[in-house]
Structure 1
């Protein structure tokens, strides 16, 4: 009797031991991996208010997939990219994610567009064990994870984070120009809140009071009330937690009022469309940035070839967004290669956390992750619109 009880005790102990690590283990899907193919998905704004972001990002991703597949794929497997439209709407982001997971059986979600659609769909991915890689939002929820929640290990980001980049650029501008009354106008969502956090944290560190804080609803097109308030509050520097249309709208409104004030945009303002569409209204705008924007007439080598090939493929000039989309797929392919021929979800996670560095062709800072840090880097630049082009003003900033 005592022997059997002892055996039962040992068996129960063994079961308990096997279950303990499992409770802390990250579940990673092996769906989407076939002998000759890897299925990956993305949801972009192809029809909504930031389609000037979504369309070129999707194009850049398609270009990278085409190049990788033409060269034989990754360890002999071709990439199959499925693109869905989220219209910059959280509900559509959720529906797109459900479709990509349940019907298309994707291995990883890459470069999903926008803070609100990405956040709304995040838990659906984690429940299914699907990696959330390099979303097109630098909000903190895309890389900060709680070690006590193993599924949160599935998120990685290679974009410059809004909080850190806003802090670095704001500190540089305040020190350089001696501004005394900084203000902010930000989008009323997860993205805008991150820019606001960077703004308020940096001012607290510098013991400076904000002169004005104002926001607008996502999708708004009239900023007259916000600009009038900031002008009457005597702002001498306006930080913009805006995207393309809102950046042009706010600066155009200031010009109308004859208000000569310095504007500093968060990283999403640092795109070719802002000077191309805003013209004189945005001349002089400063912005936080992650890498220099290449222009075809001054680019050299691989970057020049890339710009020419993009134009051939899509009939339009490449931009920042296309580069980000292209790099998202190239980064995925780099770590998939590292994961080896016998690809599994767990091996992909291990490869991402290995500390191996990915270097792109655009001279961006290296991409590198670890078991405890799922953000690629925080090195910030400041650029300025001068005569219709983005020009580098300051490099290698850290807050």
Structure 2
């Protein structure tokens, strides 16, 4: 009888453990998935996010991981195309069996993947996009680490109008990302009884800016706010400068500041980019010192805003995992993240709650100086 009882107890324990086991979690590892462009015209955005996340996870794993488990990052390339993003996120969840997702890149790709993420109830942390459509309506499974495009464009317009600049044009990508940025600029201008003097568009993953250039330059704007990726923005700036345009150029953070500076070369001096993370080149901020140390330890000698954002995303996810308990579930990860109230990571604060998943409203402005170096 005791043998039967023991066998029954073992069977129940096995059944219970099997029933509560979460995909992507073993005794010594947690799988995290990333869907992002690692090829094509926006590749540097996904690659640098990946580098920043991996730098932190490598350092974390060297210290024993989270509750005894190391973190493994699995990245699938979506080429910054919505249909490929859907395929990538499905593959991460159904084939790779990841526990959670982090560091996705882009508004159109994020919007396309969101129904899959929601249906599968997989937490997604640190989307590299500031679009309001990914913040409203509220989604229990999505946690934003960065400020919104509304926050960034308000900072840009506030800066320009404070300087007396009122003739502002908008060059934007003809998709959900570009339109989200355009809406932010329009909102900020409307609050000041202004509106764009001109707009022009470019297609995603294209550098055909001729039509936009013609429609914008004829209005002689004092400044152009750009809402696109680095290759198209660089093409627009170079062509505008070649035609003698002497106004100012402002970009939101998604452009990929380092990639933009590289594309522009000598033409980049004076271009301003709004940022949603601390300045990654100055060591006065504790979290930046940690970032630089972990990047160098991982063999990464180049610092930039995008990898800084990836690094912060990994830090936030890890804090949530620590609070998810020794036997983490997707629900306990959500609860763990929601318990991050005014958590200071060393100069960058995160604040979540069960009703608010926008962790930060931090914005800053940076400018490209001589030799592609950034000034703060």
TM-score (norm 1): 0.83
- What does 1:1-399 correspond to in 2, within 5 Å? 30-146=22-138, 152-175=139-162, 177-269=163-255, 271-295=257-281, 299=283, 303=288, 306-307=291-292, 309-311=294-296, 313-314=298-299, 316-361=301-346, 363-364=347-348, 366-387=349-370, 388-392=372-376
Q: CA deviation at 1:48?
A: 1.4
What RMSD, in angstroms, separates the aligned Cα atoms of the two structures?
2.2
CA positional deviation for 1:259: 1.0
Task: Report Cα offsets for 1:308-342 as digits up to 9, x if no partner.
Answer: 65356345513222111122112111111122223
Q: Do the aligned partners of 1:183 and 1:239 also contact (CA within 8 Å) in 2?
A: yes
Separation in structure 2 between the aligned mates of residue 38 and residue 315 of structure 1, nearest angstrom: 24
Deviation, 1:207, is 0.8
Shift of residue 46 of structure 1?
Answer: 1.1
Moved more, 217-226 or 273-282: 273-282
- Deviation, structure 1 residue 196: 0.3
5+ residue gaps in structure 2? 1-19
Unaligned runs of 5+ in 1: 1-27, 147-151, 393-399
Query: Deviation string for 1:158-215 (max 9, x for gaps)?
Result: 112112211222122112x212221100011121111101011111111113210111
Provide, for residues 7-40 of structure 1, a one-character-per-residue CA deviation record: whole Å limited to 9, x for no partner. Answer: xxxxxxxxxxxxxxxxxxxxx9932223322221
Distance in structure 2 (CA, Å) of the matches to 1:291 and 1:68: 21
* Contact 2:30 2:70 survives alignment (8 Å): yes
Q: Deviations over 1:116-145 (max 9, x none)?
A: 122111111111110121111121233333
Measure, in 1, the Cα distance between the counterparts of 2:290 and 2:143. 29
**C-alpha separation between the residues in 1 aligned to 2:273 and 2:306?**
15
Secondary structure at 1:250 match in 2? helix
CA distance in 2, matches of 1:230, 1:153: 40
Structure 2: how far apart are the matches of 1:275 and 1:62? Answer: 24
Deviation at 1:270, TM superposition (A): 5.6
Conservation of the 8 A alpha-carbon contact between 1:270 and 1:288: no
Tell me the alpha carbon deviations over residues 51-84 of structure 1, each in whole angstroms, 9 at most, x when there is no partner.
1111121122222221111111111122122111
SS at match of 1:153: coil
Q: Is the 8 A contact 2:168 2:225 kept in 1?
A: yes
Residues 218, 305 of structure 1: alpha-carbon distance in 2 compared, 3 angstrom cutoff: same
| Mean Cα deviation higher: 283-292 or 370-379 | 283-292
Q: Normalized against structure 2, the TM-score is what? A: 0.88
Task: Indicate conservation of the 8 Å contact 1:310/1:316, yes or no.
Answer: yes
Task: State how many pairs are aligned.
Answer: 355
Structure 1 runs (4+) greater than 6 angstroms displaced = none
* Maintained 8 Å contact 2:58/2:298: no
- Superposed CA offset, 1:329-357 (max 9, x none): 12111111122223222221112112434
Q: CA deviation at 1:290?
A: 1.8
